[in-house]
């Protein structure tokens, strides 16, 4: 296959591990492989804190399940595959998408982290693509200013700050998390405590 030919989904899956960083931060957009900057530690902090809150929510309510770094096959010919931080599914058999690398199933909620400049620049395009595809809500978390933007089709965006609470209604009823909790560093990341003499 010539290097300038559009990649198909199969090309991308078969050759992903040959890409920089093993393809972990690469996506396929209209048949072209796009590489994003590796995220910083704040990205990991947010994913850790949100995953803990989601895990507790799933355990308590048994509503749906979350997948992390799952490829979403948004379109074909040319193929587009995006990898949001979290995809939350509430329909179909539980954990049906959990072991897949890429899926065509549409999640109810997608979580994006605008943790690097190239991700920030792509936020509006990515959000619009998810909503057109059928995703009910997109949560875009921006560690730099500690905000969360909630986007739904044909509704005004809502921007939450650390004074607000992130609520999952209507897709994830009973899910509530103070926005400030997303950005709290785990104690074991802070190093040993200083001893006061």
Q: What is the pLDDT of residue 176?
A: 97
Mean of the pLDDT values across residues 21-49? 94
d(CA 190, CA 43) in angstroms, rounded, equals 16
State the SS3 of the chain. CCCCCCCCHHHHHHHHHHCHHHHCCEEEECCEEEECCCCCHHHHHHHHHHHHHHHHHHHHHCCCEEEECCEEEEECCCCEEECCCEEEECCCCCCCCCCCCEECCCCCEEEEECCCHHHHHHHHHHHHHHHHHCCCEEEEEECCCCEEEEECCCCCCEEECCCCEEECCCCCCCCEEEHHHHHCCCHHHCCCCCCCC
- pLDDT tens digits along 137-150: 999 999 999 999 99
Burial class (CB in 10 A: 0-12, 13-18, 19+), 171: middle
Mean of the pLDDT values across residues 187-194? 61
pTM confidence score: 0.90
Q: What is the pLDDT of residue 190?
A: 63
Structure tokens at 34: 């796009």
d(CA 122, CA 118) in angstroms, rounded, equals 6
Mean of the pLDDT values across residues 103-130? 96
Structure tokens at 50: 């949100």
Domain residue extents for the chain: 37-185
Residue 25 binned pLDDT confidence (cut-offs 50, 70, 90):
very high
Mean of the pLDDT values across residues 122-130? 96
Percent of the chain topping pLDDT 70: 93
Q: What is the pLDDT of residue 1?
A: 42
Q: What is the pLDDT of residue 191?
A: 59
- With 50 as the cut, is the pLDDT of residue 2 above it? no
- With 60 as the cut, is the pLDDT of residue 126 above it? yes
Mean of the pLDDT values across residues 148-172? 96
Contact 53, 180 (CB under 8 A): no
- pLDDT tens digits along 37-89: 999 889 999 999 999 999 999 999 999 999 999 999 999 999 999 999 999 99
CATH superfamily membership of 37-185:
tt1808, chain A (3.90.1570.10)
Q: What is the pLDDT of residue 129?
A: 97
């Amino acid at each position: 296959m010539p290097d300038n030919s559009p990649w198909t989904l199969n090309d991308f899956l078969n050759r992903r591990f040959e890409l920089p960083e093993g393809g972990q931060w690469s996506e396929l957009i209209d048949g072209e492989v796009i590489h994003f900057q590796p995220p910083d530690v704040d990205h990991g902090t947010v994913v850790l804190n949100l995953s803990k809150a989601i895990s507790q929510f799933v355990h308590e309510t048994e509503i749906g399940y979350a997948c992390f770094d799952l490829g979403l096959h948004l379109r074909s010919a040319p193929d587009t595959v995006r990898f949001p931080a979290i995809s939350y599914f509430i329909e179909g058999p539980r954990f049906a998408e959990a072991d897949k690398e890429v899926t065509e199933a549409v999640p109810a909620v997608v979580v994006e982290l605008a943790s690097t400049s190239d991700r920030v620049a792509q936020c509006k395009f990515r959000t619009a693509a998810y909503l057109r595809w059928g995703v009910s809500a997109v949560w875009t978390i921006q560690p730099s200013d500690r905000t969360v933007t909630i986007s739904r089709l044909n509704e005004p965006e809502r921007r939450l700050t650390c004074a607000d609470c992130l609520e999952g209604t209507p897709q994830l009823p009973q899910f509530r998390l103070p926005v400030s909790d997303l950005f709290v560093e785990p104690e074991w990341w802070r190093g040993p405590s200083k001893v006061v003499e």
